[in-house]
Amino acid sequence: MNRIKTDICIIGGGSGGLSVAAGAVQMGAKVVLLEGHKMGGDCLNYGCVPSKALIASAKQAYAMSHGSALGIADEQAQVDFAAAKDHVADVIATIAPVDSVERFEGLGVQVIQEFGAFISETEVQAGDTIIEARRFIVATGSGPFVPPIDGLADVTYYTNENIFDLREKPKHLIVIGGGPIGMEMAQAHSRLGCEVTVIEGAKAFGNDDPEMAAIVLNKMRDEGITIVEEAQAQKISGAGDEITVHTPKGDYTGSHLLIAVGRKVNMDKLDLDKANVAHDRRGLKVGADLRSETNKKVYAAGDVAGGLQFTHVAGYHAGVLIRSLLFALPSKMKTAHIPWATYTDPELSQVGLTEAQAREKHGDALEVVRFEYHHNDRAIAERKTTGLIKVMVVKGRPVGASIAGHLAGELISMWAMAIANNMKMSAIANTVLPYPTISEINKRAAGAYFSPRLFESTMVKRVVRFVQRWIP
């Protein structure tokens, strides 16, 4: 048995673990990284990267058959489903070297390609190696949650971990789950020529503002996607090339089944109890400093920290941990400034409080400003006028923003910056943006906050009349 002593031992080679490893080793710390599966984790191999690549193929197919509004004849796209999957694989392969074992070993990280498990409060074993570290970071991420639906084990089903390996185009894809993963994959497959039915036990896009979600759902239904809400899957049966999902609202039959009902954190292999690390089904029990409540040598990053499950959150956690572990600076995570986006068409994005959350927290102090896409000149030029932005404002500062529309995932960045830096609405209103751009929607939303104060104020009008009368 080999033994290693190190400053930091990181368990998991996904976004959070790799970000800590790269930062820490380049700043002089001794780092050991354990990864028993694929470097890059879920995001690179099964999540963000392949899904956006497939969405790009679907978007191109849709554009070919919807050009008449721009003076381009509609042509039915000839979809080569296997070639689209080749595109997905090539995108992964292009990005993979950045997350590779070779790159991190080149930086000075000792990479052990084995799963790690605690054997004591101060030791982890990976294969035939025992690692003793001053600090451990658990960054094992999450995987698809497969619910215990009667009959599911008796049929072939897909999750985000293997749907991108499917090279034969489904005739009729049934998606169980109306969250971001399920809805992105539903629209992508529909645009690539599949019939698609989404079955959701509650509300589709249930974590987003209902008004904004409705904009996206209406568009998806207009494209021919069947979306059945408040229909819990009770049983699944299959015969031949058919799979049937039985719900209280009826039975739905298709050729392929995708399970996208949520995520579960990857902790089964860790033996956390041997390290006296408290945890529950959501992940490790940590404080705002991401440190274990019961073993002060152990920290968490990313999905396993029990909070928001996004790749960019894992990267943010890495920054919090680097400040704490390397420089002994007080460093704590916050969530109010964390944005998220769903890459359907139109896109859906959020940062901070939704309107309902802001009303509950701030009551009458809340002002909600709105601006619709169809007033934006660039959106009109590109025929992308379906969309809305809402900004929740308290005492002149944004506390939340919700966007549904073209490039919503890009537009949310300005509001994430504003909330993270406690900026006022005037900072957005004072920003000069190139014309015509979609980003002017943000500035116009800020203008909508100030317009009543300027144009509907009796005092302002009196001042202007006085100035016009007396100033030569």
> Is the per-residue pLDDT at 462 higher than 80?
no
What is residue 240's predicted lDDT score, i.e. its pLDDT?
78
Does 142 carry a binding-site annotation?
Answer: yes
Backbone phi, psi, residue 108, to 5°: 110, 5
Does 52 carry a binding-site annotation?
Answer: yes
* Helix orientation angle between 440-455 and 458-470, rounded to the nearest 10 degrees: 80
pLDDT over 90 for what percent of the chain? 93
Provide the phi-psi class of 330: left if phi over 0, else alpha when psi is between -120 and 50, else beta. Answer: beta
Q: What gap in Å lies between CA 19 and CA 181, rounded to an integer?
A: 24
Backbone phi, psi, residue 6, to 5°: -150, 165
The shares of helix, strand and coil residues in the chain, as percent rounded to the nearest 5, are 40, 25, 35
Nearest Cα residue to 19 out of 5, 45, 40? 40
**Residues whose CB falls within 8 Å of the CB of residue 427, separated by 6 or more in sequence, listed in order:** 418
Does 307 carry a binding-site annotation?
Answer: no
117-147 per-position pLDDT tens digit: 999 999 999 999 999 999 999 999 999 999 9
Q: What gap in Å lies between CA 441 and CA 407, rounded to an integer?
A: 11
> Is the per-residue pLDDT at 366 higher than 80?
yes
Mean pLDDT throughout 169-190?
A: 98
What is residue 211's predicted lDDT score, i.e. its pLDDT?
98
Nearest Cα residue to 187 out of 344, 396, 19, 372? 344
Backbone phi, psi, residue 15, to 5°: -55, -50
* CB-count exposure of residue 394 (10 Å: 0-12, 13-18, 19+): middle
**Residues whose CB falls within 8 Å of the CB of residue 239, separated by 6 or more in sequence, listed in order:** none
Does 183 carry a binding-site annotation?
Answer: yes
Does 297 carry a binding-site annotation?
Answer: no
What is residue 1's predicted lDDT score, i.e. its pLDDT?
82
22-65 per-position pLDDT tens digit: 999 999 999 999 999 999 999 999 999 999 999 999 999 999 99
pLDDT over 70 for what percent of the chain? 96
Query: How much is the mean pLDDT over the chain?
Result: 95
Mean pLDDT throughout 333-346?
A: 96
Residue 328 banded pLDDT, cuts 50, 70, 90? confident
73-95 per-position pLDDT tens digit: 999 999 999 999 999 999 999 99
| Cβ contact 263:177 at 8 Å | no
Nearest Cα residue to 320 out of 16, 12, 25, 104? 16
Mean pLDDT throughout 313-333?
A: 93
Nearest Cα residue to 8 out of 108, 137, 141? 137
Q: What gap in Å lies between CA 124 and CA 101, rounded to an integer?
A: 20
Nearest Cα residue to 11 out of 333, 299, 263? 299
Does 293 carry a binding-site annotation?
Answer: no
In the beta sheet, which residues pair with residue 9? 32, 136
> Is the per-residue pLDDT at 379 higher than 90?
yes
Does 303 carry a binding-site annotation?
Answer: yes
Q: What gap in Å lies between CA 439 and CA 401, rounded to an integer?
A: 14
Does 206 carry a binding-site annotation?
Answer: no
| Cβ contact 352:398 at 8 Å | yes
Nearest Cα residue to 359 out of 393, 335, 402, 308? 393
* Helix orientation angle between 180-191 and 48-64, rounded to the nearest 10 degrees: 40
**Rg, the chain, Cα only:** 25
pTM for the model stands at 0.94
Query: Using DSSP, how many helices (H) and how many strands (E) does the chain show?
Result: 14, 23
Question: Which string of DSSP letters, residue by residue, matches 280-346?
Answer: ETTEE-B-TT-BBSS-TTEEE-GGGGSS---HHHHHHHHHHHHHHHHH--------TT-EEEE-SSS
Backbone phi, psi, residue 378, to 5°: -70, -40
| Cβ contact 139:302 at 8 Å | yes
Sketch out the chain's domains with CATH numbers.
2-39+100-142+264-327 (3.50.50.60), 152-263 (3.50.50.60), 339-455 (3.30.390.30)
* Helix orientation angle between 81-95 and 48-64, rounded to the nearest 10 degrees: 140
Mean pLDDT throughout 259-268?
A: 96
Q: What gap in Å lies between CA 57 and CA 82, rounded to an integer?
A: 11
Residue 470 banded pLDDT, cuts 50, 70, 90? confident
Does 315 carry a binding-site annotation?
Answer: no
> Which single residue is written with the structure tokens 């690390």?
277
Mean pLDDT throughout 435-439?
A: 97
> Which single residue is written with the structure tokens 């790749």?
311
Tokens of 8: 């930091």
CA atoms within 13 A of residue 113's CA, in its CB half-sphere? 9
> Is the per-residue pLDDT at 454 higher than 60?
no
